Structure 1
């Protein structure tokens, strides 16, 4: 039986950039499939009344230093983009559109590299996403129609709502079965779970009491 790792991500999440790369060797080690789920982190932040850039400046500076340590540790060409944060819903919908053509993961790799490696914020807009779709063999006009369609918009809402129902509160978040792992620094735990799965959880509604 092929193992599955579910991956909730958002393009605007620094840690999702690292997770995109770090989950690969874990999946390869176990012959597991990584199933991506675009997750509208901006919507969730607004829902939770959380504003990232209003955190204490000393914390924001420390986070940036820490991110550069991660980039050095794993030899990744990460850099903070000039435009941050930015709206990511077009890119999230773009990934769902590319799912129709079996090119979702490649599309994700391209947009993450553009934004977090080349300081290219054009991937926050459809105009900047269309050339990427074309480079992956998808007609630009067809791609744009899908991205702007009610079908794809509703699917992104459903993906995000389903994530919230499962207890996802940030990105990146991974699931192996019912076990949830939050953050780019949970790869060892995911590895452990794939090696020795936790016992299935019993839903409260399925339990019975003997009187």
Structure 2
């Protein structure tokens, strides 16, 4: 069996491209001897600036629609004002409890399939409860100063590695930016003979 390959994932819950990634990235973990190094960020980190987003959003929504049709998944965009920071902070608890995958899938589904505002605590609590997270622990996690500081540190690490957007997968010195680069991540894992089969 090959050595475990560490795959860092920089992720912002506000990104439509992270929504697409949440639907197609799991073979990286299921089919290979890999370990996900989870690097969520919050706010506007690793996203276009607010001014740039005004111009970019119509184009990215068109792009999202095309990819969604190809994947056969629904798209109902959330409110433009949605802030992903609390969702990012809460993801650390999900990771600790071994529920990161369902957390990512269900949080992105709530936001991008149903158009819910994941910046609202009641929406976050609905998702957390649906995957079995304790309500009180989750409230503590989303408001944790430590977790918010970790989001900031992840953004700093991304800059140090040359990461310019989300989702981005990093394997050693190889940086794969975008949900449409997941196949290249898989190719890299194959080249490293990390397949479980």
Q: What TM-score range do you get, normalising by the shorter chain?
A: 0.7 to 0.9
Pairing partner for 1:172 from 164, 167, 172: 167
- Structure 2 match to 1:14: 16
Q: How does 1:121-200 map to 2 (within 5 A)?
A: 121=117, 123-197=118-192
Q: How many residues align?
A: 190
Change (3 A) 1:179 1:54: same
The yes-or-no answer on 1:111 pairing with 2:107 is yes
Pairing partner for 2:80 from 58, 79, 84: 84
What does the per-residue CA deviation read over 1:89-109, in whole Å, with 9 as the maximum and x for residues that have no partner?
011101112222222221111
Structure 1 residues not aligned, in runs of 5+: 198-211
Contact 1:79/1:116, CA 8 A, preserved across alignment:
yes
SS of equivalent residue, structure 2 residue 44: helix
TM-score normalized by the length of structure 2 = 0.84
TM-score normalized by the length of structure 1 = 0.79
**Distance (whole Å) between structure 1 residues aligned to residue 29 and residue 132 of structure 2:** 26
What is the aligned-residue RMSD (CA, Å)? 2.2
Tell me by how many angstroms 1:75 deviates.
Answer: 1.4
- The structure showing larger relative contact order (alpha-carbon pairs under 8 Å, at least 6 residues apart) is 2
Larger Rg: 1
**Distance (whole Å) between structure 1 residues aligned to residue 29 and residue 97 of structure 2:** 22
What does the per-residue CA deviation read over 1:134-173, in whole Å, with 9 as the maximum and x for residues that have no partner?
2333321221122212222222222222222211121111
Tell me by how many angstroms 1:115 deviates.
Answer: 0.5
- Structure 2 match to 1:54: 54
Contact 1:97/1:152, CA 8 A, preserved across alignment:
no
Change (3 A) 1:30 1:79: same
**Distance (whole Å) between structure 1 residues aligned to residue 16 and residue 84 of structure 2:** 13
Change (3 A) 1:54 1:144: same
Change (3 A) 1:127 1:177: same
Structure 2 residues not aligned, in runs of 5+: 193-197
